Chain A
Amino acid sequence: MIHEHLIGIGEFRVVKGLAVLKTIGLGSCIGLALYDPYNKVGGLAHVMLPSSKNGTVKSAKYADHAVEMMLSAMKRLGSKERNIVAKLAGGAQIFKHMNMNLLKIGDRNVDAIKNILESQGIKIVSEDVGGDVGRSVYFYTDSGKMLVKYSNGVELWI
C-alpha cells in the first residue's frame, strides 16, 4: 500500500522511498517539490508567501524557509544537494475581477521560488505555473513524477 500524506497550507514533508505527497486546492499558493533521483528522497511544500521577514518563526509557508527546511530534511535522509532538482505547480490568479489589491501574490510566489532555487543551484526540471485555475498536486517521491489536477478536470503529469 502506498502511503499518502496530505500537506496542509504552510506545511512540508520529506520522505525516502515511495509515498504520495499531495496538496489540495492551490490557488495563488505553490506546490514545491524537491527530489533526489539517486537516493529516492522527495519532499513537497505548500508555500503561501514569497519571503519571510526578520525574526519570523520558521515556517514552510514562506518560500525561503520552505526550501531551507526541505533541503536540510533531505540531507538528513542522505541526499546530496548537487543531486536535488525541483518541480513546481501553482501560482494562479483565481479572481477574474480584481476589485481587491491582491498584489499578484501568485506571480510573486513563483518569482521568489525561482530566485531562491537559482541561488542554491537547484535546477527546475518542470513546472506548471500561473493561469487562473486552481490546482491539486500529487507528488510521487520514488519516481519524482508530479500529477497536476486542475479544478476544471484537466490533468497533466509534469
Chain B
Amino acid sequence: MSKFENLTNEELDILREMGNIGVGNASTALATMLGRPINITVPEVYLLKFSNLDKVIKPDEIVVGTVVGLSTMDNDNSGFLYMIFPQDSPNKLAELLIGDSSDESMVESTIMEISNILASHFCDGIANMLDTVLIPTPPSYAKDYSVAVIDALLAQIADKTDNLIIFETDLVDQDNTVNIFLMLIPTEKFFEYIMQLLEMVK
C-alpha cells in the first residue's frame, strides 16, 4: 500500500469530497428525523499507523459508540463505519426523539435506530459516487473506551496492513447540543478500489 503515504492534495480533496457526500446524505436524514437543522464540518482525512490511532481519538475517553460493517454485493468486507456519540449526546438525542432519557435501554434503542439511519444513508451516498453498492450490517452498540470499542474490528484489517485511513466528520445540531463523530475505516482492498476510481478521474 505505497499509495498511502504519497497521496497528492488533489487525491485527498477527492477523498474528502467522498466523505462529504456520505455525511451530507446522513445528516439530511438525521435532520429530517430530528426536525432540526444539522451542520456538518468539512471531513478530515487521516492516514496513519495503527499505533498512532490515539492521535485521532482520545483513547481514554468513554463514549457511546456504534459500529456497522460494510460489504459489497459479493459479500466482500469493505470496512467499518464507526459512529461516536460523546458525552451527553446520547441522552440529548433520546430527549429530542422520544422526549425522555431516563430509561437507559430506551436511550440505547434510540442510538441504534439513529445509527441505522446514518449508516444506510452514508452508504448510499458514497456508493452512488463510487458506482457500487455498499450494504451496512445492523449496528452493534457499546459504551466503553473509544479505542476499546473498535479494536476487535481493527484486528480484522490489521493482518493485511498497518495503515489506517480514517474519514472523520462532526455532525452538530443548531444549538450545539448534539455531537456525532463519523469515522469510515475502509479495508485495504476497498481503499484501493477508491484509489483506482481516483486514477480514472484524473
Chain A residue numbers with a CB within 8 Å of B141 are 95-97
Given contacts A8-B51, A8-B54, A9-B51, contact A48 B145 (CB under 8 A): no
CB-contact partner of B148 in A6, A25, A59, A100, under 8 A? A25
The reply to whether B162 and A27 form a contact with Cβ atoms under 8 Å apart is: no
CB-contact partner of B159 in A9, A53, A98, under 8 A? A53
Residue of A nearest to B80 (CB): A100
Q: Which of A88-114 contact B (CB under 8 A)?
A: 92-100, 102, 105-106
The reply to whether B50 and A27 form a contact with Cβ atoms under 8 Å apart is: no
Of A8, A11, A106, A135, most buried by chain B (CB within 10 Å of CB) is: A8
The reply to whether B50 and A61 form a contact with Cβ atoms under 8 Å apart is: yes
The reply to whether B140 and A134 form a contact with Cβ atoms under 8 Å apart is: no
The reply to whether B51 and A49 form a contact with Cβ atoms under 8 Å apart is: no
- The distance in angstroms between the C-alpha atoms of A56 and B162, with both chains bound, is 11
- The distance in angstroms between the C-alpha atoms of A11 and B158, with both chains bound, is 13
Chain B residue numbers with a CB within 8 Å of A8 are 49-54
The reply to whether B140 and A100 form a contact with Cβ atoms under 8 Å apart is: yes
- The distance in angstroms between the C-alpha atoms of A136 and B60, with both chains bound, is 8
Per-position 1/0 for A112-141, Cβ under 8 A of B: 000000000000000000000111100000
- The distance in angstroms between the C-alpha atoms of A49 and B149, with both chains bound, is 16
Given contacts A24-B60, A151-B145, contact A61 B54 (CB under 8 A): no
The reply to whether B151 and A97 form a contact with Cβ atoms under 8 Å apart is: no
Residue of A nearest to B149 (CB): A94
Answer whether residue A26 sits at the interface, using C-beta atoms and an 8 A cutoff. Answer: yes
Residue of B nearest to A61 (CB): B158
Chain A residue numbers with a CB within 8 Å of B155 are 28-29, 48-49, 105
A-B contact count (CB 8 A): 111
Answer whether residue B201 sits at the interface, using C-beta atoms and an 8 A cutoff. Answer: no
Answer whether residue B147 sits at the interface, using C-beta atoms and an 8 A cutoff. Answer: yes
Per-position 1/0 for B34-55, Cβ under 8 A of A: 0000000000000001111110
Chain B min CB distance to A41 (Å): 22
Given contacts A61-B158, A102-B152, contact A151 B62 (CB under 8 A): yes
- The distance in angstroms between the C-alpha atoms of A93 and B144, with both chains bound, is 11
CB-contact partner of A9 in B50, B69, B144, B145, under 8 A? B50
CB-contact partner of B60 in A25, A29, A98, A133, under 8 A? A25
Chain B residue numbers with a CB within 8 Å of A95 are 67, 140-142, 152
Answer whether residue A37 sits at the interface, using C-beta atoms and an 8 A cutoff. Answer: no
- The distance in angstroms between the C-alpha atoms of A9 and B44, with both chains bound, is 22
- The distance in angstroms between the C-alpha atoms of A25 and B67, with both chains bound, is 16
- The distance in angstroms between the C-alpha atoms of A108 and B191, with both chains bound, is 28
- The distance in angstroms between the C-alpha atoms of A96 and B144, with both chains bound, is 12
The reply to whether A92 and B51 form a contact with Cβ atoms under 8 Å apart is: no
Answer whether residue B198 sits at the interface, using C-beta atoms and an 8 A cutoff. Answer: no
